[in-house]
Structure 1
Amino acid sequence: MAVVAAADLITGPGVGLLPLVSLGPAFAGLTGGWRRTVAIGVVAVALCLVLSAYDGLYGTRRGFTALLSIAGVTAAGLAAAVRRQRRETELASVRSIAEVAQRVLLRPVPRGAGRLRVAVSYTSAVAEARIGGDLYEVVTSPQGVRLIVGDVQGKGLEAVETAAVVVGAFREAAYDEPDLTAVGERLERALERHLTQEKFVTAVLAQVQDGGAYVTLLNFGHPAPLMVRTHGEVRYLAPPERALPLGLGAHGTPGPKPYDVLFAPGDQVLFYTDGVIEARDPSGDFYPLEQRVGGLAQRDPDAALAAVRQDLMEHAEGPLQDDAAMLLLRYRDG
């Protein structure tokens, strides 16, 4: 508005810059609240009257047209500001609800149990979202520490609802059942009552007994966890045989078999969902997780997992195409 006024004073009325004063309330409606829009609109009208009098246009058709255009743009900016503030309020409410849902579905996991340390990371692919179809949970049971990391087929609220069913069933079964196979069977029964058509959930279950030197894994068609040994060896903990995901047990195929892996002090196991290994860079290359776990050398598990997540985001150079969950299980060596 100041620039338009200065230009009008310099060039005179022949150029016809007076209607451009309406740019002030137009931008105010896009960036500010309704009070600010009204205030700038009043200033714009006053400025238009002063310039009209200076240019000798006061009371003429051109002066009246300029004044009318400023008033109209101010009204439009006011309506836009009110609508935008209302949508921002609604979005803040939705975010608050999403955060509450996250605390219920993906509540904070215990950070430690004896010499075990746990860290988690969750990145949603949906803009402004806090939760999605990936899931994780850690339960301290009489049989030891048990955990699950999974990925629900599909997206949206339906995937979140299915994830809630799996997490709820795991929380009960992990504490009650004597072994991981029984826990997996409980999850299958829970999903049989919930899932429709050909929906499924990939998941990997794990158990570390108190004082045990092994981690027991049960893999339902999920990406194999990554083991990082204390001496630097990195390898995927692939199951001896592939198995169908949860929810497809009705097809009559045998379920997965648990398998043990040596888990010594200083070792780490990284559980993740396919949103991590399927993240692409601008050239289309997948994220090379096995080659990029150097950040796990940090002593603090949360900082170590944060370093991997940062490296993942830098690889993608933009929003992820799928939700990405990671859970780091570390056997502290001292």
Structure 2
Amino acid sequence: MHDAPLDTQHPRAASAPARAAIRLTGLRALRGLAPVLLLLAVVLADLLIPGRLHAAPVMAAVPVLAAMTLPVWATAVLACTALAATGLLQWSDGLWGRPASDMTLMSVSLVALVGLGACALRRSRERELRQVRSVAEAAQRALLHPLPRRLESLELCGVYLPAEAEARIGGDFYEALPTPHGIRVLIGDVRGKGLPAVGASAALLGAFRELAYREASLAGLARGLDESAGRQIATMEEGAGAAEPRALFTERFATALLVEVPRDEPVARFVHCGHPEPLTIRAGRVHGHVAEPPGAPLGLGDLIGTPQVEQTVPFAPGDRLVLYTDGFIETRDRDGRFHDLAARARIRATQPLAALVTGLRADLLKHADGDLDDDAALLVLERGRAGEPGR
């Protein structure tokens, strides 16, 4: 499974892609040599084994192996080399011109042609896959902007883990913006999978980036996002041809948590929209903040009718806020036990910020045995101490 970090503060983060690239290059070189080594092995085996045993028919495997690992031109060169080597081996064994020799040459020729066709198809699919990945990476950069390491007095560090190994984007989303009303942060999770979830995430992030500057109150910002999500649901249902209004709402709403950190007050304000409670780390202790009352998920406000209520908690210099999606608490181990994020945060509460995030990520992957069932995002905010310079 691949992970897409929100931030790369950890000193080893930059070198990890380089090490992975080196390993991948070595593996590709080894795979490229495999058909050449097989060709040489067949020639040696045929020359060394007793007269009635002939290894030349195994030469048909050379173009097949080449087609799996090499470009078309290299596959063609090896196929021709294999065919020529087969003919020479047949001649040296005194089999040239016999029916068995003709059948061997025909078999190698046919397999070589099929291998060339398969190689051309594979290369075409690889080009298409590279294009798709390029588009996905561009979409990720547009959808999930890389978060800065520091926003005014806040230091940020986090990680995003898609459940699908080849995924670049998913249904979890996040954003942090310095606004006239303070630093505002959004983290959320769209219910649903695939492109509809990505589309809903994009719509909500776009609305947040606009409303965060306009709305004076955090509750007003939450209401604006709920209206935007409602319009997104209606559009999706209309496109899907839903027979009844809101027939598809169960797969189209989003849980979210809105956070506001005022510049001149040692507090943080929350608005819960059906999202897991945030955690505060203060003086090495972890505190959870349950919504009172719990707010409705974005897109369901007009159905449930629960008002969006602001909650204020202390957030002094040196304190940390841990924001996360449900992938960090609903992931189960082999025995069916949920991951206890709060417990892991208590163990790592005194670690530096980057080490804390790296450790929590490792704890989740270890608990899931490296196989996540859902996307998981985590973002930790640390408030700088008075007079502390930006880093």
Flag whether TM exceeds 0.5 (same fold).
Answer: yes
The code of the aligned residue for 1:89 comes to R
1:257 pairs with one of 282, 285, 309 = 309
TM-score for the superposition, normalised by structure 2:
0.81
1:188 pairs with one of 209, 226, 233 = 226
Structure 2 residue aligned with 1:214: 267
Distance 2:355 2:217 in 1: 32
- Farther-moved stretch of structure 1 (254-263 vs 163-172): 254-263
- Farther-moved stretch of structure 1 (275-284 vs 43-52): 275-284
Structure 2 residue aligned with 1:272: 324
- Farther-moved stretch of structure 1 (106-115 vs 124-133): 106-115
Cα pair 1:28 1:37 within 8 Å, conserved: yes
Distance 2:107 2:217 in 1: 75
- 1:308 is the counterpart of 2:360: yes
Distance 1:139 1:193 in 2: 24
Deviations along 1:213-268, one digit per CA (max 9) or x if unpaired, are: 11100001101112111x21112211122222111112152223111111122111
Q: Kindly state the Cα deviation for residue 6 of structure 1 after the two structures are TM-superposed.
A: 2.6
1:223 pairs with one of 272, 276, 287 = 276
Structure 1 residue aligned with 2:22: none
2:287 pairs with one of 235, 256, 259 = 235
Q: Would you identify which runs of 4 or more consecutive aligned residues in structure 1 move more than 4 Å?
A: none
1:154 pairs with one of 192, 215, 226 = 192
Structure 1 residue aligned with 2:28: none
Aligned residues: percent identity?
39
TM-score for the superposition, normalised by structure 1:
0.94
Structure 1 residue aligned with 2:18: none
The code of the aligned residue for 2:42 comes to V
Structure 2 residue aligned with 1:22: 60
Distance 2:292 2:150 in 1: 29
- 1:89 is the counterpart of 2:127: yes
Distance 2:264 2:151 in 1: 11
SS of the aligned residue for 2:339 comes to coil
Cα pair 1:220 1:244 within 8 Å, conserved: yes
5+ residue gaps, structure 2:
1-38, 238-245
Distance 2:138 2:358 in 1: 23
The code of the aligned residue for 1:263 comes to F
Q: Kindly state the Cα deviation for residue 303 of structure 1 after the two structures are TM-superposed.
A: 4.4
Distance 2:161 2:270 in 1: 24
2:337 pairs with one of 275, 280, 285 = 285
Q: Kindly state the Cα deviation for residue 17 of structure 1 after the two structures are TM-superposed.
A: 2.8
RMSD of equivalent CA atoms:
1.6
Cα pair 2:284 2:350 within 8 Å, conserved: no
State the aligned residue count: 332
Structure 2 residue aligned with 1:203: 256
5+ residue gaps, structure 1:
none
Q: Kindly state the Cα deviation for residue 62 of structure 1 after the two structures are TM-superposed.
A: 0.8
Distance 2:153 2:81 in 1: 67
Cα pair 2:230 2:298 within 8 Å, conserved: no
Distance 1:298 1:99 in 2: 32
Specify whether residues 29 and 255 from structure 1 end up closer, same or farther in structure 2 by C-alpha distance, changes over 3 A only.
same
Distance 2:285 2:301 in 1: 35
Cα pair 1:208 1:215 within 8 Å, conserved: yes
SS of the aligned residue for 1:148 comes to strand
Deviations along 1:117-157, one digit per CA (max 9) or x if unpaired, are: 11232111123111111111111111100111000010100
SS of the aligned residue for 1:194 comes to helix
2:152 pairs with one of 111, 114, 136 = 114
